[in-house]
Amino acid sequence: MSSKDWIEKDYYAALGVQKSASSDEIKKAYRKLARESHPDHNPGDPKAEERFKTVSEAYAVLGDEAKRREYDEMRSLFGSGAFRRGARGAGQPGGVPFDVSDLFGGGGAAGADTRFGGGGFTDLFSSIFSGGGGAGGPARPRGPARGRDVETEVALDFDDAVRGVTVPLTLRSPGVCDTCHGDGAKPGTRPKACPVCHGAGVTTRNQGSFSFSEPCRTCQGVGTVVEEKCPECQGTGGVTKTRTLNVRFPAGVADGQRIRLAGRGEPGERGGPAGDLFVQVKVRPDELFGRTGDDLTLTVPITFAEAVLGTDLRVPTLDGAVTLRVPPGTPSGRVLRARGKGVVRRDGRAGDLLVTLDVVVPAVVSDEARATLESFAEQTPPAAREHLDARVRRVG
């Protein structure tokens, strides 16, 4: 982040705290906001990812006592966003003649403010508006740039997601040209220094008392130009490549989970690091099992007689079968638990298999079965419904 960011950005507002907040209050606010906006908790939400970057940037300054002190002093001197590109300078219509040394009671070392370094206010302004090159110094060209992140989606079978699996992913994304090795020049030639910015990557223009720098339009801020372009990439230094990555999905990966593979995204520019690859997981549903966290779920039908008399029930798991005891008098909807037959956790322990019993009531019965049920009903006390009957009498 630059000094210009410090002037224009209100980091206290980003964290939702007062300027007088203590270090503990700032830390508490940051942890809360970072947890709420973390990309792992908001998969596929670019707004949450941007909020996370904003609060992280704010805490990087306010969480450091020295940086926070400099930030407060800078904003108290300059105000929030008081200086912008395009502000009218001396000699322009509406402009006021302005000497930087007037702020400190005259020029020279005696009037310099050393809170931002030995160069004082003048060096600080040069750093803000001239790319950090220092007062009167040359602007710095753009350095290595990190490659962009890449996102893709993969569908896994239910069993593979539970057990873990390695899947080859084929991606088409920009890559470094193999012919020119990324410099965009025809083999046997080299890029030359830009004739406009002379390799700086930026151009400077004066406006009143200030100088402003911007990326060179001739070389697009790179500092070099290609006179003889590479026939493969046409001078861009990059081509679209097809690559295959073998990605290992750990056991227990869940539907909707976003997995980050550091450094497997697009390559960086001018020697910069590669971006990251994010893989969004979609798990195909299983015909028998469901999943709740680390537990597997299964619904098993039983007959009325099995629910009344009890039975031993043989049910499948992902790696075999288990026998569960259904006690006599079991109601429909009761859940039986087979411990350790669920999803294996990262620590080696496993979730459970939760079996929900569904008592099936036949729509049609034989005459003999009906007679038996009627005899059973005569010998069985009615269900306790006195509290319902009392309400019926009250409202009837």
Residue 254 labeled ligand binder: no
Query: Position 88: which residue type?
Result: R
* Helices (H), ranges, the chain: 3-8, 11-15, 23-37, 46-62, 65-78, 120-129, 158-163, 304-309, 367-379, 386-395
Is residue 317 packed enough to be buried (19+ CB in 10 Å), middle (13-18) or exposed (0-12)? middle
Give the strand pairing for 238-249 and 224-225. Answer: unpaired
- How many CB atoms neighbour CB 50 within 10 A? 10
Residue 333 labeled ligand binder: no
The residue behind tokens 């070392």 is 109
CB 342 within 8 A of CB 296: yes
Token code pair at residue 141: 């060209």
- At 50 the three-state DSSP class reads helix
Residue 184 labeled ligand binder: no
Give the separation between CA 163 and CA 344, rounded to whole angstroms. 8
Give the separation between CA 134 and CA 136, rounded to whole angstroms. 6
Question: Residue 144: which of 263, 276, 270 has the closest Cα?
Answer: 270
Those residues whose C-beta lies under 8 Å from the C-beta of residue 51, and which sit 6 or more positions away, are 33, 37
Those residues whose C-beta lies under 8 Å from the C-beta of residue 394, and which sit 6 or more positions away, are none
Residue 233 labeled ligand binder: yes
N-terminal to C-terminal alpha carbon distance within the chain? 75
Residue 177 labeled ligand binder: yes
Residue 24 labeled ligand binder: no
Residue-by-residue DSSP string for 92-139? STT-----GGGGGTSSSGGG---BTBTTHHHHHHHHHHTTT--TTPPP
Residue 150 labeled ligand binder: no
Residue-by-residue DSSP string for 308-357? HH-EEEEEEETTEEEEEEE-TTPPTT-EEEETT-SPBPTTS-B--EEEEE
Token code pair at residue 85: 């590109």
User: What are the C-alpha distances in Å from 279 to residues 172, 212, 245?
Assistant: 14, 42, 12
Residue 194 labeled ligand binder: yes
- At 392 the three-state DSSP class reads helix
- Residue stretches of the annotated binding site for Zn(2+): 177, 180, 194, 197, 216, 219, 230, 233
- Residue stretches of the annotated binding site: 177, 180, 194, 197, 216, 219, 230, 233
